[in-house]
């Protein structure tokens, strides 16, 4: 058999066994809130499941503790996850509107809902009544689905041992979207952690004589506190009378500032237009006079320009004549010097030519004398 088919068949069989297991055990849960309260009174300070180690509880252990202690009512098996439990909306919701007036709504039955507007805060009450034993503590956070909507859970995630009541949480909408929440919608996920061991929760051991039991400090939490109580207490001792997001107020201030700028700009335009219109008539009356003055000024300017041009041309002509005369003088001077150099060169060349002829004559005489001497010597030898 293909491994995937085998695994799918095995998962299906396990899911079926799990379903029948919890369906059979659902009858062990408290059937009403009074029964849950009775069980808590019995096991709120005594651990009935000593075999479960101190740790983050898995789903099976959570179910066992709910059955034994009544720590959560109502409890829905289908909301139980591997290591957490989904908690639904149900109860009072309060918020402050744009006029800073407190609003409230009860979500108690199917069809009840409320809108969480953009950039707003609402205090939402959860459905179950919690009764947390001394040896357990809870942590919670928003469901991942709501986190990706841009929502934020604005409270500490720890619920101390000994807490009795319904949880209410500040829910922040940080987006520009409006979200609708209905009665019984899953909102948060809760984890259950068992504290480290203390003999005070062990009936058999604590009753033994001679055993020194470390004193466990309980949290004096008044039961049954409501969302209105928590909000009112948080505002005590201050001048604040409401809890709202600061973003809408800042947006409103920005809008007012823009409107004021636009109004000032409109007034400025109107005043400028009036000033321009009043100046227009004065400009019209003085246009002819201004044109005449401008024409006279233009003629004067042209005449001046012509005079300057004539002066410049005359000066250029004088400069040209002067330069021509100077060039003629230099040419004559250079020609005279060149002629003198040429004459001197010719004289020196003539003198050199005369010296060369004289040297040639001397060489010729020497050659003749040498020839006569050789002839005389030969005659003597013959004799």
Residue 363, in any domain of the structure: no
Dihedral angle, C-alpha 251, 257, 261, 262, nearest 10 °? 50
Q: Which residues pair with 114 in a beta bridge?
A: 181
Most confident of 18-27, 132-141, 264-273, 296-305: 132-141
Please list, residue by residue across 265-295, b when 16 or more beta carbons sit within 10 angstroms of its beta carbon and e when fewer do. Answer: eeeeeeeeeeeeeeeeeeeeeeeeeeeeeee
pLDDT band, very low/low/confident/very high, at 218 (cuts 50, 70, 90): confident
User: Would you state the pLDDT for residue 201?
Assistant: 92
Share of the chain above pLDDT 70, in %: 72
Q: Quick one: 185 and 317 in the same domain?
A: no
- Of 331 and 309, the structure prediction assigns the larger pLDDT to 331
pLDDT band, very low/low/confident/very high, at 339 (cuts 50, 70, 90): confident
pLDDT band, very low/low/confident/very high, at 353 (cuts 50, 70, 90): confident
Q: Quick one: 226 and 84 in the same domain?
A: yes
Residues 258-283 have pLDDT tens digits of 877 777 777 666 766 666 566 555 54
Q: Quick one: 66 and 82 in the same domain?
A: yes
Indicate the number of domains in the chain: 3
What residue numbers bound the domain in which 273 lies? Answer: 246-285
Residue 238, in any domain of the structure: yes
Which residue do the tokens 């841009």 mark?
150
Residues 155-184 have pLDDT tens digits of 667 999 999 999 999 999 999 999 999 999
Residue 8, in any domain of the structure: no
Residue 299 pLDDT > 50: no
Q: Quick one: 106 and 230 in the same domain?
A: yes
- What's the maximum distance between 2 C-alpha atoms anywhere in the chain? 186
Query: Structure pTM?
Result: 0.65
Tokens representing 211? Answer: 């055993």
DSSP assigned state of 2: -
User: Would you state the pLDDT for residue 39?
Assistant: 98
Q: Quick one: 191 and 307 in the same domain?
A: no
User: Would you state the pLDDT for residue 315?
Assistant: 47
Residue 336, in any domain of the structure: yes
């Amino acid at each position: 058999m293909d491994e995937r088919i085998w695994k799918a068949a095995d998962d299906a069989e396990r899911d079926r066994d799990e379903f029948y297991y919890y369906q059979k055990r659902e009858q062990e849960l408290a059937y009403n809130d009074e029964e849950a309260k009775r069980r808590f009174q019995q096991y709120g300070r005594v651990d009935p499941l000593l075999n479960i180690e101190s740790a983050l509880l898995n789903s099976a252990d959570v179910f066992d503790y709910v059955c034994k202690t009544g720590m959560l009512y109502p409890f829905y098996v289908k909301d139980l996850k591997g290591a957490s439990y989904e908690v639904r909306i149900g109860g009072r919701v309060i918020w402050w509107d744009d006029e800073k007036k407190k609003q409230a709504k009860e979500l108690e039955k199917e069809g009840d809902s409320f809108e969480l507007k953009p950039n707003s805060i609402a205090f939402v009450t959860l459905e179950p009544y919690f009764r947390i034993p001394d040896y357990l503590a809870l942590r919670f956070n928003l469901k991942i689905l709501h986190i990706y909507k841009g929502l934020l859970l604005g409270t500490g995630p720890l619920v101390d041992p000994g807490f009795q009541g319904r949880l209410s949480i500040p829910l922040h909408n940080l987006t520009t979207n409006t979200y609708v929440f209905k009665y019984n919608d899953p909102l948060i996920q809760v984890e259950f952690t068992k504290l480290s061991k203390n003999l005070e929760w062990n009936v058999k051991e604590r009753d033994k004589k001679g055993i020194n039991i470390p004193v466990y400090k309980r949290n004096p939490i008044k039961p049954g506190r409501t969302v209105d109580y928590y909000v009112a207490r948080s505002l005590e001792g201050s001048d604040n009378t409401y809890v709202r997001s600061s973003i809408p107020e800042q947006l409103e201030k920005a809008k007012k500032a823009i409107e004021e700028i636009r109004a000032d700009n409109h007034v400025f335009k109107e005043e400028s237009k009036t000033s321009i219109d009043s100046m227009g008539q004065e400009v019209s009356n003085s246009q002819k006079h201004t044109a005449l003055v401008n024409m006279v000024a233009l003629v004067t300017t042209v005449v001046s320009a012509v005079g300057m041009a004539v002066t410049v041309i005359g000066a250029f002509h004088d400069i040209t004549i002067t330069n021509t005369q100077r060039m003629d003088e230099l040419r004559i001077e250079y020609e005279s010097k060149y002629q003198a150099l040429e004459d001197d060169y010719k004289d020196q060349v003539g003198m050199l030519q005369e010296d060369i002829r004289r040297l040639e004559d001397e060489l010729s005489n020497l050659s003749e004398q040498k020839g006569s001497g050789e002839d005389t010597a030969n005659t003597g030898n013959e004799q």
